[in-house]
Amino acid sequence: MQTADVVIIGAGMAGASAAFFLAPHAKVVLLERESQPGYHATGRSAAMYSQSYGNACVRALTVASGEFYRQPPGGFCDYPLITPRGALTVGAGAQHDSLLQTWHAMRALVPNIAWWTQDQVLQRVPVMRPEAAQFAVYEPDAMDMDVHAIHQGFLRGARQAGATLACNAEVRRVWRDGALWCLETPAGCFGAPVLINAAGAWCDELAALAGVAPIGLVPMRRTAFTFESPSGTDIHDWPLVIAADESFYFKPDAGVLLASPANADPVPPQDVQPEELDVAIAVDRLEAATTLTVRQVKRKWAGLRSFVADKSPVVGFARDAPGFFWLAGQGGYGIQTAPALGELAAALVRGLAVPSAMAALGVRADDLSPLVRPWAACVGPPPAAGGAIHRMRAPEYRPPPCSSRPTEVAAGARPLVSRHPGSRSAVPQARPEFDPARSGAW
Ligand SMILES: Cc1cc2nc3c(=O)[nH]c(=O)nc-3n(C[C@H](O)[C@H](O)[C@H](O)COP(=O)(O)OP(=O)(O)OC[C@H]3O[C@@H](n4cnc5c(N)ncnc54)[C@H](O)[C@@H]3O)c2cc1C
């Protein structure tokens, strides 16, 4: 068994960002089921950064991530991670009052968000039908994100700080051995006192494997597709256009247009595929609101946006299992909030407070914690008296046959896990600055 301080399950944006911020302080192993990271939600997003999107908690995390995206650490990426796009929410008729209200609420957080007239909309996006865009709210600082560069930057930085990534490493069995979480994968067995559950849509399934109470995560299918822009029209400068009732959105994407019916269809966790009907609905709505014609769909895909009831991410140690840390429920905001969520997760795992810059922007651990959220009362027993959480709900320890080795470790990875041949209960040799006993797990 390979042991580490922290084992992270899932190498999408959540797992990669947590590994990036933790690796300088702890021995980190990142386990990914697929042959390459980023195959699921992370590789299927619309790549938008908007400070006015989501609930107050999400907006605070998004604002807190902005500085990282504008000024990433040296060596993270040679070119900008975000580029100006703008976001335009268009409405008509009876939507006036509610959109006006939304504008006032948004302005409290993002002062340069503007109310636009029909003329302004038509000047910027001439394909809008006037009757569908009688007024709008414009967010000039909404950005396109380079999701691949961000994800690779996190993975590369984590690796340079000593983290190990194992692909083809689906976690199939989880059990406790003393202070360790032990994990069986086709790439070998791994153990660590802290397990970070960053398995995206599969977070509740992973918790079930570990005998930990679920958080009620609901994966929602969202479909997207690209199509040719109208010939002779320069779409380069168009913002993302979203209907006030969120019935569709479209935006320029590498020379073509990307569109979505903005659907949110609950489905079990899976390698979700686009439904023809979703695309047809989007085309219908798009052609009703604009003069665009979708002659041919160039590429279509679907991905899962996973939410808990209050639509805020879940970040923190579980109440019913020592060292089991949730990093889940990023919904439709997991890319734009990744730097803040990764840094916050790393701080909480190390037993530290919310970083001060983040706290100043309104990020509160309690808003994200699985322990104090309104629905938390029904997901597990309260912690044992005195704060020490020793209740074990994980399956009883049964040593598995454990002869396999990782089938794929990221090129150039410098393994940091201490090997303790023949000893499944060996305590990892923690780096001086990482003391599992001091981490927020206990
Ligand atoms: C169509 C669409 C548009 C979106 N647009 C935006 C946007 O504009 N802006 C934004 O910020 N966000 C957007 N999102 C949301 C964003 O993509 C997600 O919030 C984010 O990618 C979630 O990252 P994750 O790492 O939690 O999940 P994932 O990327 O799904 O990663 C989880 C990983 O865990 C692995 N895994 C699962 N179970 C196991 C196991 N047992 N063992 C090992 N590995 C396992 C999976 O293989 C997967 O790679 C969009 C999403 C969709 C679908």
Can you spell out the DSSP letters for 107-138? HHH-TT-EEEEHHHHHHH-TTB-GGG-SEEEE
Is residue 441 helix, strand or coil? Answer: coil
For residues 226 and 116, state if they share a domain: yes
User: Is position 425 within any domain?
Assistant: no
Residue type, 180: L
Q: List the residue whose alpha carbon is closest to atom 2 of ligand 1.
A: 45
Can you spell out the DSSP letters for 25-41? TS-EEEE-SSSSTT-SG
Q: What is the pLDDT of residue 387?
A: 27
pLDDT in tens, the chain (442 residues): 999 999 999 999 999 999 999 999 999 999 999 999 999 999 999 999 999 899 999 999 999 999 999 999 999 999 999 999 999 999 999 999 999 999 998 888 789 999 999 999 999 999 999 999 999 999 999 999 999 999 999 999 999 999 999 999 999 999 999 999 999 999 999 999 999 999 999 999 999 999 999 999 999 999 999 999 999 999 999 999 999 999 999 999 999 999 999 999 999 999 999 999 999 999 999 999 999 999 999 999 999 999 999 999 999 999 879 999 999 999 999 999 999 999 999 999 999 999 999 999 999 999 999 988 766 544 444 333 322 222 222 222 233 333 333 333 333 333 322 222 222 222 233 343 555 444 433 2
CA distance 286 to 278: 12
Q: Which of 7, 34, 40, 81 best tests ligand 1's pocket when mutated (most atoms within 8 Å of CB)?
A: 40
For residues 315 and 402, state if they share a domain: yes
User: Is position 393 within any domain?
Assistant: yes
Q: What is the pLDDT of residue 375?
A: 63
CA distance 166 to 6: 14
Name the residue range of residue 190's domain. Answer: 2-43+148-217+310-419
Residue at which a domain ends, from 260, 280, 304: 304
For residues 16 and 119, state if they share a domain: no
Q: Which of 7, 9, 45 best tests ligand 1's pocket when mutated (most atoms within 8 Å of CB)?
A: 45
* Ligand 1 environment, Cβ below 6 A: 9-15, 31-34, 37, 39-42, 44-48, 169-171, 198-202, 206, 222, 224, 303-305, 330-336
Q: List the residue whose alpha carbon is closest to atom 47 of ligand 1.
A: 33
Q: What is the pLDDT of residue 348?
A: 98
User: Is position 362 within any domain?
Assistant: yes
Q: What is the domain-level CATH number for residue 319?
A: 3.50.50.60
For residues 224 and 133, state if they share a domain: yes
CA distance 326 to 229: 42
User: Starting from the edge strand earliest in sequence, which strands make up the sheet with 48-49, in order?
Assistant: 48-49, 143-145, 82-84
**What is the tally of structural domains in the chain?**
2
For residues 392 and 402, state if they share a domain: yes
Contacts of 167 (CB under 8 A, 6+ apart): 11, 32, 34, 35, 36, 37, 187, 407, 408, 409, 410
User: Is position 367 within any domain?
Assistant: yes
CA of 205 to the centre of ligand 1 (A): 15
Q: What is the domain-level CATH number for residue 270?
A: 3.30.9.10
CA of 203 to the centre of ligand 1 (A): 11
For residues 39 and 124, state if they share a domain: no
Would you give the distance in Å from CA 248 to the centre of its chain? 22
Q: Which of 52, 146, 202 best tests ligand 1's pocket when mutated (most atoms within 8 Å of CB)?
A: 202
Neighbouring CB atoms inside 10 A of 162's CB total: 17
Q: List the residue whose alpha carbon is closest to atom 21 of ligand 1.
A: 42
CA of 335 to the centre of ligand 1 (A): 9
Residues 21, 24, 26, 27, CA torsion sign: positive
CA of 199 to the centre of ligand 1 (A): 8
User: Is position 52 within any domain?
Assistant: no
User: Is position 322 within any domain?
Assistant: yes
For residues 233 and 133, state if they share a domain: yes
CA of 140 to the centre of ligand 1 (A): 26
Q: List the residue whose alpha carbon is closest to atom 37 of ligand 1.
A: 199
Q: What is the pLDDT of residue 428?
A: 30
Per DSSP bridges, beta strands 180-185 and 173-177 are: antiparallel
CA distance 45 to 25: 30
pTM equals 0.88
Residue at which a domain ends, from 304, 323, 339: 304
For residues 317 and 383, state if they share a domain: yes
Q: Which of 13, 34, 240 best tests ligand 1's pocket when mutated (most atoms within 8 Å of CB)?
A: 13
For residues 338 and 415, state if they share a domain: yes
User: Is position 398 within any domain?
Assistant: yes
For residues 264 and 200, state if they share a domain: no
Give residue for tokens 């209907």.
243
Residue type, 331: G
The answer to whether the CB of 331 falls within 8 A of the CB of 307 is: yes
Q: How far is CA 374 from CA 89, 202, 213, 311, 363, in A?
A: 31, 22, 15, 12, 17
For residues 199 and 293, state if they share a domain: no
Residue type, 134: Q
User: Is position 433 within any domain?
Assistant: no
The ligand 1 atom nearest the CA atom of 40: 30
For residues 22 and 91, state if they share a domain: no
Residue at which a domain ends, from 304, 339, 364: 304
Residue type, 142: A
